[in-house]
Structure formats: C-alpha cells, structure tokens
Amino acid sequence: MKEIEIYCHNTRSKHTYPMGASLMDISRDLNIQLKNVVCGAIVNNQVRELSFCLVKPKHIEFFDVSHPDGIRMYIRSLIFVLYAAVKESFPHVLLRIRKGISNGYFCELSGFGREITEPDIHAIKNEMHELIAQNIPFIKKGLLTEDVVDHLVKEGLEEKAQLFEQKGHLYSSLYFLNDLGNYFYGHLLPSTGYISNFDLVKYFDGLLLRVPNPDNFNELQEAPEQKKLFEIYQEHKDWAQILDVATVSNLNEFTLKKKGGYIIKISEALHEKKIAEIANQIHERDGDIRMVLVAGPSASGKTTFSKRLGVQLAVNGLRPFQVSLDDYFVDREHTPRDEHGNFDFESLDAIDIDFFNEQLLDLLKGKEVQLPKFDFHRGRRFMNGDHLRLRTGDILIVEGIHGMNPRLLPRIEEKSTFKIFISALTQISMDEHTHISTSDNRLIRRIIRDSKYRGYGAAETIKRWPSVRKGEERNIFPYQENADVMFNSATPYELGVLKKYADPLLKLVLENQTEYMEAMRLLKFLSFFKPIDDEEIPPTSLIREFLGGSSFLY
C-alpha cells in the first residue's frame, strides 16, 4: 500500500501513513491532546473536517472548538441541531436565524402563529439534548445540484435552494443529520456528540441561541439585553421588506434582472432619510446640544457618516465643525501596551483625555483654541495652526471609537452631548439559517480600503484583524447601548459591489501564508453574490469611503 508523509504542527514531527488515512485516524494515532476535544484541522493552510482523507503529503495542525474555525464549526453544527429539533417538535414551523446579538443568535419561528412560551422552548431544548446524546454523525454528500435543490425545496428551504440554483454548479454538497439535509457554507463537527454546551431562551419576540465562551467552554457567553441594537436591526428588517431583499438570492435576482441600480437608489435614499431624522432630533433639542459624538468599530464608515450628518445639520441652520479623536493621541512613547507588549492604540488611555477635555471646555465657553494634529508617521502630536471658536448655532462633531465611553468626557455635562453609534449591521442573510457576520462585512471593506489608501495587501489586513476585533470587544461594543441613536451603515447591495474589488485582492494571498485559509473562506462567501456595478453609487455614499470616488475630503 502506498504511503504518504505528513508533518504535524502539534507534535512538531513527521509521520508516515497509508494513502487514504483520515484526519480522525491520524489525530487518534498521534494522541493529539488539546484544551478541548479535537474537532478539525488546518491542512496546507485550509480548514478540513476530521473525515478528510489524505492522498498527498500534507502539513497538518489540529485544532479544537476554541479555535476561531472550531467555534464556527460548533455554531453551524449547533444551528443544524436546533433546526432538526424545531422540525421534530413543530413540523409546520420554519426556523429563521436572523442575526448575531447579545453574544448569541436571534431566532424566529416563522408560521408559529402564537407567542412562544417556556414549554415550547423546553420541548425544543429536550429534542436538541436527545439528538446530542445519540451522537449522530454529520454526513457530507456530493449530489447533483438539481437533487440538492429538490431536497431543499421539500424541506421548505426555498431561499437556500434558490441560492444553489444561482451558483450554477453541476454538483453540490449537502450535509445530512439522519435523513434531514442542510447546508451552512462551511465545515461541521464530526457528530452531534461534540456539542457540549448551549442554551435557548426567550428573547423579545423570538429566541436567543446562547453559545459557549471560546476561552472556557464550560461557561456560556454573557447575554446582555441589547434593546437599542435590536431595534436598529428591526428597523432594517423593515427596510429589507421595502426593498424585497432579505437574502442573497433575493439580491442576486435583482442583479440578474439588471435592477441593481434600483436597489442602490432606494438604499441610499433610506440612508439619507435616516441621517436627516437624526439631524432633526439634534436640532429639536433647542440649542442644548453643543457636541455630537460619533463612535463605532473599524470600517463602519464613521468619517463619511460624520460628514453627511454635518450636511444635514447645516440644512437645519446649524454650523458643524468636525474634530477627530485620533488627533488627541498621546505621543508614541506614552502609548499604553497590551499583554503582548505591543502598542495598544485602541485603549482609551492612548487618548490625552485631560487635554481633550480642556479644549472642549474652552470651546463651550466661547474661547478660541488651536487644534492639534497627530503625525502617525512620527508618533507625535503637533499644532498645525488651525484655530476654532464656537459661536451660537455652531456644533462640534467628534468622531472616534471611544465616543460612547463615559470616561471620555469626565468634565463635560451630559445634556450638552448627543451620542451616535454606527456599525455595518449587515441587513441581508445568506438564507433561512445563515446570517451574515457584520465582522466579515467590515473586514471586506477594510481589505479594500487598506489596499487602496494604505498600501496593505489582503494578508496583512487579515493578520491584523483579530487584534482589531479584540480591541473592539474591549473598548467599543461594551458601551454601544450608551448611544442616543444607532445608525446602520450597511446597505443591502454593498457585498455585491465589494465582491468585484475584494476578489482579486484575496486571490493574491499565497497558499504558504497563514492568512490563506481566511482569504479562501471570504472568497467562498463572496462567490454566492452576483457582482453589482458601482456606477450608480452616489459620491456621497458611505461605501465610497472604501471604494473611492467620494466627493468628501478625508
């Protein structure tokens, strides 16, 4: 029997196995011990399931459920079990996974016909526990696409079926849990028995599927109620209904019919209407508001939003002036460091809070101040000669990631500020069971912007992203509910537009780079979108901040 050589990163050693050996066989033979049970592997910088069989020499690194791709496997598999449990408990009800919120996943039971009760939830959870106890394998099958589509239609998953039809492949894959088929755009765990911890609770008018803490799978992630975030999601659910674009397949239908321009026009009009409403709220506070704070995570479109808000404030007779928190960074040598000894630019302590508050107090008293500018190349703050004095009718727009943090303005009266949190809360879903991560939306935006304006390749942006996300979880998202208003900068059409720009950048990531597997995941995700031409996107659009062609100066 022919043998192949593998290198195992976990053991730092080479081994020889018969051709056709599975990753499961190898992990058991090598007795791979991780913090949690082994659930998958990175093979030549691509994620593979443990059922994957080797026919060529490979570089292998096994991972468990605490790994980013491990937790993705866990969540997909958990949703499949939830789908199966709902199907068994309430056969005529369709499970819909709407969004990620409160460190979990908001679910609706379409066609339920009444309010969900605790006994209903208990019945679903019991069925889930039974499926997990049976340790049923998730079986992946390659089938003719027409057979996959027929199966999904019979299951009532018409949106998923339509997406497979639009792909146009002769063969497609489907996962089976007993006789129930489904697909989740990524890998699954070997079997239901790998699911060790979850909860299902009532959440507003639906359910919240709670998931474990990746750092400690014995604990569930905290589930704070995020009322304002939920409301903004619901608002954009209404927008999706206005546009008739709730899923990727809906969007693709408009694109195939050459009606992408219609979606762009309506989406941009809804954005403008919302920004105008926010400006009206500020104006109606009868001069009490002297300062608007705009905060949000990376690639959320804060800068363009601030400029568009300034236009609408001017329409209301106010004179807006913009200030960036980035210009109040402390000099580089005073920047705090993270646990790895690297500069932590996303810490609030990287901002000279005392100096910032002194300048704000002077401005609010009608004094003239000389505004600072931060030189990122030299790591120094300097005065560039710009002066500012606020008069009656003037209003300051302060943009920066810490705008919702109460520690930012210890010397400023709350009643003189208006707080706006902005993020790209993706409005459309892949299908009935797969929401689109807002983090993925922002990462794709940032890959394009970093390439166009900062000279970074996709691999470098992907490499930095986990650190960016960690900073956001620590410094931004805990304070988002402090906002007076939330604004969703995402549009239903944008991923169809971003695809054209992101695809060639992601394809430049090489197989021997550790970022290759993330690039391949994003490419696969974008492959389900039909490209949308960007000619009709107006120069004031938030998406122009990333694509170029904006009429605003940055």
Query: CATH number, domain at 294?
Result: 3.40.50.300
Q: Both tokens of residue 438?
A: 């807002």
| Domain membership flag for residue 430 | yes
> Predicted confidence band at 515 (pLDDT cuts at 50, 70, 90)?
very high
DSSP 137: B
| Domain membership flag for residue 553 | no
Quote the pLDDT of residue 554: 83
Q: Both tokens of residue 387?
A: 């002066």
3-class secondary-structure state, position 552? coil
Clarify whether residues 403 and 470 are in a common domain. yes
Beta-bridge mates of residue 48: 41
Domain boundary among 64, 86, 114: 64
| Domain membership flag for residue 376 | yes
pTM, 2 dp: 0.93
Clarify whether residues 85 and 156 are in a common domain. yes
Give me the DSSP letters along 464-512: HHHHHHHHHHHHTGGGGGG-SEEEE---TTHHHHHHHHHHHHHTTS-TT
How far is the C-alpha of 197 from the C-alpha of 211, rounded, in Å? 7
Q: Please give the average per-residue pLDDT across 505-514, as a whole number.
A: 96
Clarify whether residues 297 and 430 are in a common domain. yes
Q: Both tokens of residue 60?
A: 């292998």
> Predicted confidence band at 231 (pLDDT cuts at 50, 70, 90)?
confident
Range of the domain at 155: 70-220
Tens digits of residue pLDDT in 345-371 = 889 999 999 999 999 999 999 999 999
Helix (H) or strand (E) run with residue 525 in it: helix 516-526
Res. 243: pLDDT tops 90: no
CATH at residue 74: 3.30.980.10
Clarify whether residues 95 and 59 are in a common domain. no
| Domain membership flag for residue 168 | yes
Quote the pLDDT of residue 6: 96
Clarify whether residues 274 and 395 are in a common domain. yes
How far is the C-alpha of 299 from the C-alpha of 452, rounded, in Å? 14
CA nearest 416: which of 357, 486, 349?
357
How far is the C-alpha of 183 from the C-alpha of 172, rounded, in Å? 10
Res. 70: pLDDT tops 90: yes
Report whether 184 contacts 176 (CB < 8 A): no
Quote the pLDDT of residue 164: 96
Domain boundary among 182, 199, 220: 220
Report whether 384 contacts 373 (CB < 8 A): yes
Quote the pLDDT of residue 30: 97
| Domain membership flag for residue 407 | yes
Quote the pLDDT of residue 242: 75
Report whether 382 contacts 372 (CB < 8 A): yes
Tens digits of residue pLDDT in 466-494 = 989 998 999 999 999 999 999 999 999 99
Clarify whether residues 449 and 498 are in a common domain. yes
| Domain membership flag for residue 152 | yes
Domain boundary among 64, 82, 104: 64
How far is the C-alpha of 348 from the C-alpha of 121, rounded, in Å? 41
Tens digits of residue pLDDT in 271-329 = 999 999 999 999 998 778 999 999 999 999 999 999 999 999 999 999 999 999 999 99
- Report the b/e string of 234-261 with b at 16+ CB within 10 A: eebeebbeebebbbbbbbbbbbeeeebe
Terminal-to-terminal C-alpha distance of the chain: 64
Q: Is the dihedral of CA 185, 150, 189, 58 positive or negative?
A: negative
Q: How many domains does the chain have?
A: 3
Clarify whether residues 12 and 114 are in a common domain. no
Clarify whether residues 313 and 208 are in a common domain. no
Res. 524: pLDDT tops 80: yes
| Domain membership flag for residue 554 | no
Clarify whether residues 278 and 147 are in a common domain. no
CA–CA–CA angle 149, 151, 152 (5° rounding): 65
Clarify whether residues 54 and 81 are in a common domain. no
Quote the pLDDT of residue 108: 95
Portion of the chain with pLDDT greater than 90, in percent: 90
Clarify whether residues 122 and 243 are in a common domain. no
Res. 543: pLDDT tops 90: yes
> Predicted confidence band at 376 (pLDDT cuts at 50, 70, 90)?
confident
CATH at residue 47: 3.10.20.30
| Domain membership flag for residue 250 | yes
Quote the pLDDT of residue 233: 81
Q: Residue 298 is which amino acid? A: S
How far is the C-alpha of 171 from the C-alpha of 168, rounded, in Å? 9
Quote the pLDDT of residue 226: 92
How far is the C-alpha of 84 from the C-alpha of 76, rounded, in Å? 12
Clarify whether residues 206 and 300 are in a common domain. no
